[in-house]
Amino acid sequence: MESSGRRGFLNALSASAGALAAGAASLPAFAQAYPSHPVRLYVPIAPGGLTDTLARAIGAGLAERIGQPVVVENRPGGGGVIGMQAAARAAPDGYGLAFVYQGVASVNPVLLKNPPYDTIRDFVAVALVAQFPLILLVSPETKARTVAELVELARTAPGGLNYGSAGNATTSHLAMELFKRQAKVDMVHVPYKGESPAMTGLVGGSITVLFATPTVALPMIKSGRVRALAISTAQRSALLPDLPTVAEGGLADFAVGGWYGILAPTGTPATIVDRLAAELAIVLKDSDLRARLAAQGVEPMWAGPADADAWLRADTRKWQQVIVESGISVD
């Protein structure tokens, strides 16, 4: 009887162990050690260019931290819509992330008539990782040498000044519409097909004012072909430390800048989001990476999941108001 009972106990124990093993094998991937295989980073833009360069640099740093490859997958098209849809449809397990910029994250959802994705609904914020200012420029022939003088010039000739942009609904367009509303001035928008043509228009005198990114603006400023009046962000930039902000120039609430962040599909476990955020915080402290960002006219920016979520929501509300009040639309 004792031998029979012992055999029964061992058989039951073996069956229990087998059941536990089978259960563990059926657990979703995020319940096992993360990460156990490569992470895919969706970039909603074509290879090459600033966004792709940053995604690859930051992805490489993240790969070193987590011990798994971070594979950049470019999904261009539809003004970023295709890539964002692909990322939103990825399994919420930490193996599919989106590298986003302002246009696809906080502008598209309020600009498009029937947006196929909603950033707030379809994603959770992991981190903000980089930002860049815009530089308020005027042609050298323009009398204005400060923001206050530009505002006064615009007020004395309503509709008499032309401002350029890299295209309809681009950051340079939205920034100037916000400037106009806060300064209570009227200027005529001249959209170009890209930032470089807009800069050519400014240098040639076809337009008077332009918000431009540092990579395009700095060479022209140094050569004296354009005049810089202010930096668009809330704080001065290390790129041009002596240049005042637009807010310092008189528009106290003005603060605009491009930014980059990493999002995960809604439903991704908080433990994974927090792990990724912690690793990215370390990645952004790397001096070589920071130097690479600076060479692109970009500054490191750090915000963890909660702060990044608050930033995204506030940025979306701001541009929604500008877009609605200015009547901006896309075909």
Q: How far apart are CA 69 and CA 67, in angstroms?
A: 7
Summary mean pLDDT of the chain: 90
Decide if pLDDT at 12 tops 60: no
pLDDT reported for residue 2: 42
Residue by residue, DSSP assigns 137-169 as EE-TTSS--SHHHHHHHHHHSTT--EEEESSTT
- Cis before residue 133, ω within 30 degrees of 0? no
pLDDT, tens only, 73-105: 999 999 999 999 999 999 999 999 999 999 999
Dihedral Cα 76, 50, 301, 198, nearest 10 deg:
-100
Q: Using the predicted structure, report yes or no on whether residue 29 has a pLDDT greater than 90.
A: no
Cα–Cα distance for residue pair 36/67, rounded to 1 Å? 9
- Cα–Cα distance between 79 and 101 in angstroms, integer? 12
**How many whole angstroms from its chain centre is CA 288?**
21
Residue 230: C-alpha distances to residues 10, 234, 240 (Å)? 79, 11, 9
Confidence of residue 331 (pLDDT cuts 50, 70, 90): low
Q: How many other C-beta atoms lie within 10 A of the C-beta of residue 7? A: 10
List 97's β-bridge partners, or say none.
41
Distance CA 267, CA 131 (A): 27
CATH fold for domain 37-132+257-326: D-Maltodextrin-Binding Protein; domain 2 (3.40.190)
Region 101-116: mean pLDDT is: 93
Cis before 35? omega within 30: yes
- Picking from 212, 210, 211, the residue whose alpha carbon sits closest to that of residue 162 is 210
Residue ranges of the domains in the chain?
A: 37-132+257-326, 135-231
Q: What is the mean pLDDT of residues 228-234?
A: 97
Q: What is the pLDDT of residue 32?
A: 58
What is the dotted CATH code of the domain comprising 135-231?
3.40.190.10
In this structure, of 1-10, 75-84, 318-327, the range with the lowest mean pLDDT score is 1-10
Burial of 76 (0-12, 13-18, 19+ CB in 10 A): middle
Higher pLDDT, residue 239 or 22: 239
Q: pLDDT band at residue 329, thresholds of 50, 70 and 90?
A: confident
Assign 330 a pLDDT band (cuts: 50, 70, 90): confident
45: β partners = none
- 133 vs 15, more confident: 133
pLDDT digits (tens, 9 = 90+) for 152-199: 999 999 999 999 999 999 999 999 999 999 999 999 999 999 999 999
Mean pLDDT in residue range 35-59 = 95
Task: From residue 22, give the alpha-carbon distance in Å to each of 14, 18, 25.
Answer: 12, 6, 5
When mean pLDDT is compared across 28-37, 112-121, 267-276, the lowest value belongs to 28-37
User: What contacts 66, CB < 8 A, 6 or more positions away?
Assistant: 35, 39, 276, 279
What pLDDT sits at residue 14?
A: 43
Please report the pLDDT score of residue 38 as a whole number. Answer: 98
Whether 37-132+257-326 shares its CATH topology with 135-231 is answered yes
CA distance 175 to 196: 17
pLDDT per position as a tens digit, 199-208: 999 999 999 9
Nearest to 124 by CA among 306, 284, 316, 315: 306
Q: How far apart are CA 28 and CA 155, in angstroms?
A: 62
Report pTM.
Answer: 0.85
27-54: average pLDDT: 84
Quick: pLDDT tens for 280-304.
Answer: 999 999 999 999 999 888 999 999 9
- Residue 77's φ and ψ, nearest 5 degrees, are 120, 145
Residue 13 vs residue 41, higher pLDDT: 41
Indicate whether 254 pLDDT > 50.
Answer: yes
DSSP state of 179: H
Whether 316 contacts 119, CB under 8 Å? yes
Helices 270-283, 305-326: axis angle to 10 degrees equals 90
8 Å CB contact between 261 and 104 = no
DSSP-derived letter for residue 328 is: -
